[in-house]
Amino acid sequence: MTDTQFGYLILGAGIVLVLGLVYAAASRGSRPHLTPPAGVHLPPPSWLPFQFAAAAALLGGGLAFRPDDQIANWFLLVPGLILFILTAVGWIRAAGREWHETEDGPSHGSGHGAPH
């Protein structure tokens, strides 16, 4: 297997993994409607996009900066893969949490007669 083929194999496995996680998270329970509930807005600020970029940089570095006798630099590739998986799971959980908060309404009152 050439280095290029191995790189494509890792990339394909990552794509399948993320799509599987998204499918699993989306198919939990049945939702009465397929459109977002009223009040869905931009998500709050998050470090998750930066974490995905760092994971991608580690994964790419692990494949690019490898010793001649190895397929990858495991000291970069493994932490990148772990960070990538944890970030994907965190992002899916954050999206689900925001969806549920929007469906249930504000939890700490929005100034409409709610006690502070």
What local confidence, expressed as pLDDT, does residue 113 receive? 45
Number of domains forming the structure of the chain? 1
Residue 77 lies inside a defined structural domain of this protein: yes
- Tell me, what's the pLDDT at 30? 60
Would residue 58 count as lying in a domain?
A: yes
Q: Phi and psi (nearest 5°) for 74?
A: -65, -25
Global pTM value: 0.55
The gap between the terminal CA atoms of the chain, to the nearest Å, is 63
- Output the CA torsion 86→90→96→100 (10° steps): 140
pLDDT of residue 76: 92
Host H or E run for residue 5: helix 3-26
- Is 82 within a domain? yes
Residue 1 lies in a domain: no
Residue 49: CB atoms within 10 Å: 10
Report the alpha-carbon distance of residue 59 to residue 52 in Å, rounded.
10
Low-confidence ranges of the chain (pLDDT < 50): 109, 111-116
> What's residue 116's pLDDT?
44
Q: What is the pLDDT of residue 106?
A: 58
Per the structure, the complete domain to which residue 55 belongs is given by 47-65+73-102
